[in-house]
Amino acid sequence: MFTEAELAYLSEQGLGRLATQQPNGTLQVNPVAFTWNASAQTIDVTGAGLTKSRKYRNVEANGRAAFVVDDLPSLEPIRVRCLEIRGRAEVVPEAFAPDGHLDGAVIRIHPQRIISLGIDDPDHDPLDLVPNNRTV
């Protein structure tokens, strides 16, 4: 599903952006904490009071999400890395034992489409990069 370089990139990043669709059709994007769940082959999103959030209710209602992790590893010369994951999403209310501000819930994203840029080949000018787009 993911290349070795993409898995390494996911493991070194702690923040991503989750996009969900609200009931009125508009999109909502939130910065979120996440982990790669190797056993389930999913992106697991966590957060403070997750079950009370709009993003949680959005996923519960329509089961779709997009997720982006990106950064600029160098400004001189400019280098860009980006991993976009689109797919089916589900809420898992009791994925782990509650811990402090975490209520134990996750939003679990099952990748169906992956778009990768500058991760497998990081030392190129952004204008020369070719996205690695694939359906999984």
Domain enclosing residue 76, as ranges: 4-135
CA distance 15 to 72: 14
Q: What is the pLDDT of residues 28-85, one digit of tens each?
A: 999 999 999 999 999 999 999 999 999 999 999 999 999 999 999 999 998 999 999 9
CA distance 63 to 45: 14
CA-based radius of gyration for the chain: 15
How many domains is the chain partitioned into structurally?
1
| Cβ contacts of 31-39, under 8 Å, gap ≥ 24 | 34/67, 34/69, 36/2, 36/7, 36/10, 36/11, 37/108
pLDDT band at residue 92 under the 50/70/90 scheme: very high
Q: How many CB atoms lie within 10 A of CB 15?
A: 11
pLDDT of 35:
96
pLDDT band at residue 122 under the 50/70/90 scheme: confident
Q: What is the pLDDT of residues 9-32, one digit of tens each?
A: 999 999 999 999 999 999 999 999
Q: What is the CATH number of the domain that holds 27?
A: 2.30.110.10
pLDDT of 84:
99
